[in-house]
Amino acid sequence: MNTPPSRPVPTLLLPVLAAMAGLALFSVMDGVMKAASMALGAYAAMCWRGLAGTMMMAPLWLARGQGWPAWSTLKVHMLRGVVASVMATLFFYGLVRLPMAEGIALSFIAPLIALYLAALLLGETVRPAAIGGSVLALLGVAVIAGGKFNGPADAEAVKGLIATLVSAVLYAWNLVLQRQQAMLARPEEVAFFQSLVQFCFLGLGAWWLAPFPTGTVWWLLIAAAAMSAGSIMLLSWAYGRAEAQVLVPLEYTAFVWAAIVGWIVFAEPVTLPLLAGVTLIVAGCLYATRAGAAAPAH
C-alpha cells in the first residue's frame, strides 16, 4: 500500500511566532520602561535595568556552562550592547515626551535606514525601490509630525521627536548586529551580555546621571529586565533560524501592541494623522524591502 507523501515541515513558522512573541513582549516592556523613565529619567532607568538584567541572566548563562566567549564574539556583544544602550536611552527619552504609538511608529523607518547602512557598510547598491520607499516613509513621518504640531510647537515634544528619529537610525544598525550576534551565540548568552554591557557602559555616568531607584520603581525595572531578557532570547532564537528579510517586516506588529498599552495604561488616543502616517511608513518600508532590495543582515 502506498504511503502518502509527508508534508514539508514549516521551518519558518516557529521563528516567525517566536519573533512576534518577542516583539509583543518588547512592546509591553516599553510601557513599563516609560513609567520607570517618567519616575527616574531614561538614562537612570536604562542603567539600573541593565544591572537587574545582568543579575537575572548570570545564573542562567553560568548554568549552561558555555564559558567565556571568544574575542571575536565578545566584540560583537560589546558593539551591539553599546549601540542598543544609546538607542534605547534615546528611545525612552522620546517616549516620555510622545505617546507610545507615535514613538513606535516613528521607529518604523529603521528597516529603510538599514538598507542604506547595508550600502555604506556592505557595499550593496541602493535600488530605486529603496529610494521610492524612503519618500513614502518620510511623507509618513511628516504626516505624524504635522498632526503632532498643528498648533504652537511643544519644545518637549520636539525633543522627543528628534530623539526618537535618532534612535531609529541606531535601531537600524542594531538590526544588522542582531542577526550577526544570533549566528555567533546562544540566546541566553546574548541576553546576558546585552544587559552586562548596557550596565557597564551606562554605569560610567551613573554617579551624575542615574539616581538610585527606590520603592516601586525597582519593581518596574525588575519586570522590565525580565521582559527584555525574554524578548531578546526569543528574537535571538528566531534570528538564528531565519533570515532578517523574513523577520524584519514583523517589527510592524509592535505598533498594535504599543497602541493598546498606551491606550490602556496612559490613556493615549490613536489619532487619524498617526494612522495615516504609520500606513505610509509601513507601505514605504514594505515596497522598498519587497521590491528586490536585499536585507542588510546576511
Q: What was the pLDDT predicted at 6?
A: 46
Of 77, 75, 87, whose CA–CA distance to 26 is shortest?
Answer: 87
Of 212, 196, 156, whose CA–CA distance to 40 is shortest?
Answer: 212
Q: Are 126 and 116 in contact (CB under 8 A)?
A: yes
Distance CA 102, CA 15 (A): 27
Q: Are 173 and 242 in contact (CB under 8 A)?
A: no
Residue 157's Cα: distance from chain center in Å? Answer: 21
pLDDT tens, per residue, the chain with 298 residues:
454 444 444 577 898 899 999 999 999 999 999 999 999 999 999 999 999 999 999 999 998 877 889 999 999 999 999 999 999 999 999 999 999 988 888 888 877 787 777 677 666 676 777 778 778 888 888 888 777 666 666 788 889 989 999 999 898 888 778 878 888 888 899 999 999 999 999 999 999 999 999 888 999 999 999 999 999 899 889 888 887 667 877 878 888 899 999 999 999 988 888 889 888 888 887 777 665 444 433 3
Q: Are 177 and 83 in contact (CB under 8 A)?
A: yes
Please give the backbone phi and psi of residue 81, each rounded to the nearest 5 degrees, phi first: -60, -40
Q: Is 12 exposed, middle or buried (0-12, 13-18, 19+ CB in 10 A)?
A: middle
Q: What was the pLDDT predicted at 177?
A: 85
**Element housing 189 (H / E):** helix 187-202
Q: What was the pLDDT predicted at 288?
A: 72
Q: Are 293 and 160 in contact (CB under 8 A)?
A: no
Q: What was the pLDDT predicted at 1?
A: 46
Q: At what angle do helices 254-266 and 13-40 cross, to 10 degrees?
A: 30
Q: Any idea how long the chain is?
A: 298
Q: Are 34 and 91 in contact (CB under 8 A)?
A: no
Torsion angle defined by CA atoms of residues 25, 239, 75 and 33, in that order, rounded to the nearest 10 degrees: -10
- The shares of helix, strand and coil residues in the chain, as percent rounded to the nearest 5, are 80, 0, 20
DSSP annotation of 214 reads: -
Q: What was the pLDDT predicted at 25?
A: 94
All cell numbers assigned to 132: 521610492
What residue type is assigned to position 292 of the chain? G
Interacting residues of 9 by C-beta distance below 8 A, sequence separation 6+: none
Q: What was the pLDDT predicted at 158?
A: 87
Q: What was the pLDDT predicted at 213?
A: 92
Q: Is 292 left (phi over 0), alpha (psi -120 to 50) or beta?
A: left
